[in-house]
Amino acid sequence: MRIRGIAFCALVLALSVTSASATMRISEDRGGQIGQYLQAFATRRSSGENVVIDGNCLSACTLVLGLVPRDRVCATEHARFGFHAAWMPDRDGRPVTSPLGTQALWNIYPAAVRRWINRHGGLSRKMIFLQGRELDGIVASCDRGPRYQTRSVQRLAPRPVRYESASASSDSR
């Protein structure tokens, strides 16, 4: 009887912490290799997890806008997206623009993001920032509903804050 009770409690706990109830919070992501972001955001897309942008989402991090469904991404008033052309280091470690990587970024971004980028000079070595009122109509505001509100935060990696994951089933803040 006791084992049955423990099994029941475990089942209830498993059902209450579904992937669809979780939220990934991005607060200070400076980007990195495109391939790693493609994989990470494809996993988020399949998990049903919501994504909250609450600070810098720069470079390859901006792929979230094309890889996670629009209705599952929101931005707080602190959100800032930074776009630039893709690059690779040359033999001496200096950055060299990658036309292939830049085209891959471009193909992934939604049309509204591409239009904004074009209005601000296109993808080049110079970082351009999308934030504040310019986000309206491109990324939903997190203030428009409880779906994106998170109650607990758990870091996914021991490195400086890149991603934080939260579950709506937790009671702590």
Residue 3, domain member (yes or no): no
Residue 160, domain member (yes or no): yes
For position 135, what pLDDT does the model report?
A: 94
Residue 172, domain member (yes or no): no
Distance CA 77, CA 135 (A): 10
For position 22, what pLDDT does the model report?
A: 78
**Per-residue b/e over 137-156, b at no fewer than 16 CB within 10 Å?**
ebbbebeeeeebebeebeee
Residues 6+ apart with CB under 8 A from 98: 85, 86, 87, 88
> Domain with 76 in it: what CATH number?
3.90.226
Residue 107, domain member (yes or no): yes
Output the furthest CA–CA distance in the chain (Å, rounded): 68
Contact criterion met (CB below 8 Å) for 117 and 129 = no
User: What domain count does the chain have?
Assistant: 1
Distance CA 162, CA 155 (A): 8
For position 143, what pLDDT does the model report?
A: 84
Residue 135, domain member (yes or no): yes
For position 149, what pLDDT does the model report?
A: 45
For position 150, what pLDDT does the model report?
A: 45
Residue 11, domain member (yes or no): no
Residue 156, domain member (yes or no): yes
Containing structural domain, residue 147: 19-167
Residue 118, domain member (yes or no): yes
| Residue-level pLDDT, tens digit, the chain, 173 residues | 444 443 333 333 333 334 445 799 999 999 999 999 999 999 999 999 999 999 999 999 999 999 999 999 999 999 999 999 999 999 999 999 999 999 999 999 999 999 999 999 999 999 999 999 999 989 999 986 544 444 333 333 333 333 343 333 334 43
For position 91, what pLDDT does the model report?
A: 95
